[in-house]
Amino acid sequence: MQIVFIGPPGSGKGTQCEQLSLRYGLPHLSTGELLRRTKGKSPLGDLVASYIDRGCLAPDFLVLPLVMRLLDQDDFRAGCLFDGFPRTVFQAEFLSHHLQEMGQGVTAVVYLKVDEADLVDRLRKRAMLEGRADDHRQGILQRLEIYRQRTEPVLDFYRAAGLVEVIDGAKSPNDVHAQIVDCLASRGS
């Protein structure tokens, strides 16, 4: 089961992937977490930090090798919960090609839909709780604009394949979880 989670920053992708990882026994692949873990620990980490701290997407030459290396590991062969990947149509095409080579494909795309005002509130609260450098007001607005320009078109890519399940991400985490489980069950997952 290869499940892609798409939603703007703060929509709850990470929270839902953590819960579903426990439920289905699938690894949770968060490109944001992978990249944040490398920040400042090497010259590569410094480069990653320069993108993340400005609220920008890390370029493909940093992200794609990390993701593909993980997908080739035994833990990921049975499936994965993709959190924050793919973020561009190019990455979605690259992922589809890579999965096809493995004899697999994306099972479903979970789109967590949340109003922008709610997202800004969530992200500002997260900034206070977690101290994330990219959750300052300007960084939030920058990330939402990048999401609209570069990631929303990924939904069209997956809609064409009939894979998108729209979930009301404004509900409580438990309600969102239940919606996702129902959608995946209806797909036979």
Burial degree of 133 (CB within 10 A; 0-12, 13-18, 19+): middle
**pLDDT at residue 133, rounded to an integer:** 55
Assigned CATH for 2-186: 3.40.50.300
Q: Give the angle 16-121-54 at the CA atoms, nearest 5°.
A: 85
**DSSP bridge pairs for 164:** 109
Predicted confidence at residue 138, as pLDDT, reads: 74
How far is it, in rounded angstroms, from Cα 55 to Cα 139?
5
How far is the C-alpha of 89 from the C-alpha of 30, rounded, in Å? 18
Residue pair 100/22 in contact by the 8 Å Cβ criterion:
no
pTM: 0.87
Q: What is the pLDDT along the chain (189 residues), one digit of tens a residue?
A: 899 999 998 899 999 999 999 999 999 999 888 777 776 677 777 787 777 777 677 788 888 888 888 888 989 988 999 998 999 999 999 999 999 998 999 999 999 999 988 888 888 787 777 665 555 667 777 888 889 999 999 999 999 999 999 999 999 999 999 999 999 999 876
